[in-house]
Amino acid sequence: MIKQDELRVASLGECRFSSPLDFSSPAHPSESYFRCDDDRVQMKIRFRSGAAETESVSAEEAGPRKKIYFDPAESTAAIVTCGGLSPGLNNVVRSVYHEASENYGVARVLGVRNGYLGLNPQSGLAPVEITREFVEPIDKIGGTVLGSSRGPQDPDVMADFLQSHNIDMLFCLGGDGTQRGAHALSEELLRRKAPIAVVGIPKTIDNDVPFVRLSFGFTTALEKAAEVIRGAHVEARDAINGISVVKLMGRHAGFIAAGASVVSQEVDFTLVPEVAFPLDGDGGLLDSLERRMRDRGHAVIVVAEGAGQHLFQTAEQRRDNSGNLLHDDIGQFLRQRIAEHFAEQHFPVAIKYIDPSYHIRSVPANVYDRYLCDQMARHAVHAAMAGKTGAMIGFEHNLYIHVPIPVIAKQTKKMEVTGDLWRAVLEATSQPRW
């Protein structure tokens, strides 16, 4: 349970400069554009009429402030992209540059190369100067022009780097591991009383970051995953006793697998981390798959990478360089167990295994994600210019908010198996309600 005090956003100090973003006119006063720290967004907006009143915590609404902390003409901003790829990273870089440089008039914008590694002088990776010419074509391509890497760096070393390069604000694009690193860095800078703002922009193709209703790259992933499923269905349908197994992203949450299954309407079984499905026995996956094959002659299985981990006997937990839990390969495991099961039944099947994860995450963002990237980027610049630090841009109830990074680490976002999305999956697949 999040308490109101935990949603208090750290600030570098008094905002003394007038914002250059004054678009006021007689028909549109400035108050309709600017936000203040007293503008709040309630986290829970639903209530039951007649029920006892319950306290609802609220978050600070994001947006431009009338007064800002930094003098744009004397300021330097920097951008870093970390972790795995996601559609839209270049769009965020482009929009951060344009908002900071073109609208606020920030003197200099730098790009940190290869993630947090580029904040360590021992890497030999000098930051790149970001210009209008540099960002002009990058929104049309996938990946990140700044490069990326996994793993943390010493906050002391990163703080030294920022101070030595006279960087006033750092925008950190990444998932939970990246945001943990951003928080550690902001804490070190506050300890030093260094006036440097650190603002996070959430990047997760899995859509599993708390306080972010939709993360950029997610709708692109659904679109591309649905295309893959369509091809998998054709492969299964046109083979003799064809079975296609498609493994999609989703370490802890099944949003992509579920959403793509609903979009495609061509999936027979959708397996997600939120549902511990049985593999063997009456009514288990293998039994249900055999019945489906005998009835229809083909089947498509979509499995999220974090599904079915209860089926493995792993001695110890393994983590990657970012601290993310490494999962056993459920896709290859299912492929083997399915082959063994039908061989025991003397039922010949043609199994196609498809893992499009690297393709999906490396493509350019679609139209909606491009818009979302732009808005996330601009609100991050507004936050940094106002001296906010140790915070991430959130997105709830179609409003952008400031969320202290430690609150993100305390929460987990998973798909509600009692919600409409999972019910739509069950209806589309007709799979057992395990």
Which of the residues are catalytic?
206
* Alpha helices in 65-212, H assignment, sequence order: 89-97, 132-135, 155-164, 176-192
Residue 370 CB neighbour total at 10 angstroms? 20
Task: Yes or no: say if 72 and 41 are a contact pair by the CB < 8 Å rule.
Answer: no
What 8-state DSSP symbol labels residue 243? E
Angle (nearest 5°) at CA 90 between 85 and 92: 105
- In 3D space, the residue among 371, 80, 300 whose CA is nearest the CA of residue 199 turns out to be 80
For 213-216, which contacts have Cβ atoms below 8 Å and span 24 or more sequence positions? 213/395, 213/396, 213/397, 213/398, 214/372, 214/395, 215/395, 216/86, 216/87, 216/88, 216/91, 216/92, 216/365, 216/369, 216/372, 216/373, 216/376
User: Which residues are registered as beta bridge partners of 174?
Assistant: 202
* Beta-strand relationship, 242-248 and 350-354: parallel
In the numeric block, the tokens 């993310």 are attached to 324
Task: Yes or no: say if 204 and 251 are a contact pair by the CB < 8 Å rule.
Answer: no
